[in-house]
């Protein structure tokens, strides 16, 4: 076989490139299906989500949430004085959480007999991968290389204060001030985290509203809540960064804002460069690896899942994509559906949504029936969150009475939005939803209460 001879021990049924949620989940599923599976990851098992994203941010947000609860505990009859947050201890807990989960994922892969290689991978042909000087071959290859932070072409001069979401997670102390460039999910979570600790936070967002992935009413309500501690610069374009100052322009002209730390949070982009993808003829667009609903690429035997496809840059989407890909590899027809993927913003307060937003429903030509109800209509919410403002918004199709979307802001909504996703996925109609029994008292009952607000409009 000449230069590219492959050791028989390096022949696999499936090679997975990338050890993030889409990759390690697919490797586990494939191995359980009887495929000899190799997983190649150049950094740490768990990918960005476990090591530099979802898990560490939620661990720090949990610490801040406990701090906030302690400070405001008098309403519940608990008197706590001189409440402080030990940032170093919070960071240690974050590190321990990451380590424990990384070990758990690695143990599961080992149990499933997935062979793991830590290396940078590159295609040498359509069925061969080179990693650490070794050649590995397989009849099936799954690309799950994830994404990286977008660094827009903004002039930067002498600014050690400029960090991405990866670096800010490891800062040694809480800054006195923070400027966040980008008012999307990631930027808002960090803005919420630090502003709750008393940090002076400014968010510079080029769009007229924050949290563009959320329903418009939810985004406005969230901004109104966060504005108590955060200064938003909307419809503002960053012109340059010099030292600790961010210069921006809006309809009124030019201005600047200063931060001890500057967070670049302008979104993420698929990580698909320098892998030999174009050389083997793989179809890659500006959005990522092109796949169909079965996660197949244009090349037989090659699939792609997760952020690298640009389809839905969420860990839970990657999990499902990996399962769809493996099912189709095994001859079990399955397809990826994007109509009921929940979106959650883990700010303080939380916001979540699934299905069509009001704007999307109108653009699609539907006539949505809409109702909103304060979260306090849930007895559990009132008992646990008191007068914390929040609401649930539901959309039904006026003709079919099928549930189109559910959107919420308020505590616990991240834990109950899956139920709305299941109902949208199953195309529940209003009459079917009214037959469901929600446990009492739970915050999830807000969906039942909102549903009955449609009474009188012939749902």
Residue 339 contacts residue 362 (beta carbons within 8 Å): no
Reading the block at residue 350, the tokens are: 């939380």
CA distance 197 to 191: 10
CA distance 6 to 192: 52
Residue 250's DSSP bridge partners are 253
Cα torsion 303, 334, 321, 100: sign: negative
Among residues 82, 115, 316, 440, the one annotated as catalytic is 440
Q: Beta 302-304 vs 288-289: how paired, if at all?
A: unpaired
Reading the block at residue 354, the tokens are: 């699934």
Phi, psi (degrees; rounded to nearest 5) at 102: -65, -40
Place of tokens 């490891």: 170
Cα torsion 380, 377, 225, 415: sign: positive
Residue 204's DSSP bridge partners are 181, 233
Residue 448 contacts residue 367 (beta carbons within 8 Å): no
Which parts of 228-367 are beta strand (E)?
Answer: 230-233, 237-242, 245-250, 253-258, 261-264, 268-270, 284-285, 288-289, 302-304, 343-345, 351-355
Asked if 440 is an active-site residue, the reply is: yes
Residue 296 contacts residue 321 (beta carbons within 8 Å): no
CA distance 117 to 139: 18
* Residue 184: DSSP 8-state: S
| Plot region of 82 (φ>0 → left; ψ -120 to 50 → alpha; else → beta) | left
Residue 375 contacts residue 357 (beta carbons within 8 Å): no
Which residues form the catalytic set?
440
């Amino acid at each position: 076989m000449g230069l590219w001879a492959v050791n028989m021990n390096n022949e696999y049924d499936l090679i997975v490139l990338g050890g993030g949620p889409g990759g390690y989940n697919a490797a586990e599923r494939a191995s359980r299906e009887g495929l000899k599976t190799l997983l190649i990851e150049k950094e740490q098992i768990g990918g960005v989500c476990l090591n530099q994203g979802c898990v560490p941010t939620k661990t720090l947000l949990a610490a801040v949430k406990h701090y906030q609860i302690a400070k405001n505990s008098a309403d519940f009859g608990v008197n706590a004085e001189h409440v402080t947050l030990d940032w170093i201890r919070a960071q240690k807990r974050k590190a321990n959480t990451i380590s424990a989960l990384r070990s758990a994922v690695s143990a599961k892969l080992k149990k499933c007999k997935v062979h793991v290689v830590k290396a940078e991978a590159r295609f040498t042909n359509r069925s061969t991968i080179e990693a650490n000087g070794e050649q590995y071959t397989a009849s099936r290859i799954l690309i799950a290389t994830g994404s990286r932070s977008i660094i827009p072409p903004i002039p930067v001069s002498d600014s050690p204060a400029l960090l991405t979401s990866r670096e800010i997670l490891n800062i040694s102390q809480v800054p006195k001030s923070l400027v966040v460039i980008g008012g999307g999910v990631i930027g808002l979570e960090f803005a919420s985290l630090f502003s709750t600790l008393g940090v002076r936070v400014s968010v510079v967002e080029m769009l007229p509203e924050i949290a563009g992935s959320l329903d418009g009413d939810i985004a406005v309500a969230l901004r109104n809540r966060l504005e108590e501690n955060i200064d938003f610069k909307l419809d503002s374009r960053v012109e340059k960064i010099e030292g600790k100052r961010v210069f921006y322009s809006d309809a009124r002209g030019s201005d600047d804002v200063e931060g001890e730390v500057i967070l670049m949070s302008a979104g993420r982009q698929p990580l698909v460069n320098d892998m030999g993808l174009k050389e083997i003829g793989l179809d890659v667009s500006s959005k990522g690896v092109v796949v169909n609903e079965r996660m197949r690429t244009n090349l037989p035997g090659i699939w792609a899942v997760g952020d690298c496809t640009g389809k839905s840059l969420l860990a839970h989407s990657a999990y499902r994509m990996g399962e769809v890909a493996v099912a189709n590899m095994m001859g079990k027809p399955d397809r990826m559906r994007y109509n009921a993927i929940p979106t959650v913003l883990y700010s303080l307060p939380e916001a979540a949504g699934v299905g069509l937003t009001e704007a999307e429903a109108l653009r699609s030509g539907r006539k949505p029936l809409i109702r909103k109800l304060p979260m306090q209509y849930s007895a559990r919410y009132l008992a646990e969150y008191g007068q914390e403002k929040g609401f649930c918004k539901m959309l039904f199709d006026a003709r079919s009475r099928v549930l189109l979307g559910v959107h919420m802001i308020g505590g616990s909504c991240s834990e109950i939005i899956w139920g709305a996703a299941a109902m949208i996925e199953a195309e529940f109609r209003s009459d079917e939803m009214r037959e469901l029994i929600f446990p009492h008292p739970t915050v999830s009952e807000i969906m039942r209460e909102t549903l009955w607000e449609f009474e009188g409009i012939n749902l």
